[in-house]
């Protein structure tokens, strides 16, 4: 399925995201976490051979529009496979990462980490669930367990 070397990169980025967060560098943490979510969307889009994946191949790469389209297509596929709640979980994983990146870039000099913390927790809680259910052997557990 997914190459182990690719998964090691995802696991490395997740670890780095946590380390940057602990150091108070929300921008770098955000970039790492966004990269993980973006990569998972791409992997699942390829696995399911969705239209957005085909468009990305013919266009020579991905963009935010195609990633959003892929997440919407994956939502439909995984809602049918695993139930509507799971489809929305995946869709909102992408929306959360995209919003987090936008807000982090917008607020490069913000003193408050509140919005970042909310997105960070939400994304890191969803990632292990999505990875397990879709067959991605990602060695990562959320550090925000309640």
Given a contact cutoff of 8 angstroms between Cβ atoms, the answer to whether 55 and 66 are in contact is yes
In order along its 146 residues, the chain shows pLDDT tens digits of 445 567 788 889 999 999 998 998 888 888 899 999 999 999 999 999 999 999 999 999 999 999 999 999 999 999 999 988 998 898 899 998 988 888 777 666 555 677 788 889 999 999 989 988 888 877 765 665 44
- Cα 54 from chain centre: 20
H helix intervals, 107-138 = 114-134
Q: Which residues contact 100 (CB under 8 A, 6 or more apart)?
A: 30, 33, 34, 115, 116, 119, 120, 123
CB atoms within 10 A of CB 92: 16
Q: Which residues contact 29 (CB under 8 A, 6 or more apart)?
A: 16, 17, 18, 20, 21, 116, 120
How far apart, in whole angstroms, are the C-alpha atoms of residue 55 and residue 36? 21
Domain ranges (residues) in the chain: 22-134
Given a contact cutoff of 8 angstroms between Cβ atoms, the answer to whether 106 and 112 are in contact is no
pTM listed for this prediction: 0.86
How far apart, in whole angstroms, are the C-alpha atoms of residue 64 and residue 72? 12
pLDDT score recorded for residue 109: 55
Pick the CATH number of 22-134 from 3.30.70.20, 3.30.365.10, 1.10.1040.10, 1.20.120.330: 1.20.120.330
């Amino acid at each position: 399925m997914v190459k182990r070397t690719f998964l090691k990169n995802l696991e490395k980025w997740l670890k780095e995201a946590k380390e940057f967060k602990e150091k108070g560098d929300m921008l770098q943490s955000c970039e790492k976490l966004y990269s993980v979510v973006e990569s998972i969307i791409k992997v699942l889009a390829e696995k399911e051979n969705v239209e957005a994946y085909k468009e990305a191949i013919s266009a020579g790469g991905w963009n935010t529009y195609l990633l959003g389209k892929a997440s919407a297509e994956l939502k439909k596929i995984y809602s049918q496979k695993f139930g509507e709640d799971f489809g929305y979980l995946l869709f909102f994983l992408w929306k959360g990462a995209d919003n987090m990146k936008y807000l982090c870039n917008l607020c490069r000099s913000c003193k408050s980490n509140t919005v970042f913390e909310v997105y960070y927790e939400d994304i890191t809680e969803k990632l292990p669930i999505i990875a397990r259910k879709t067959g991605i052997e990602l060695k990562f557990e959320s550090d925000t367990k309640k």
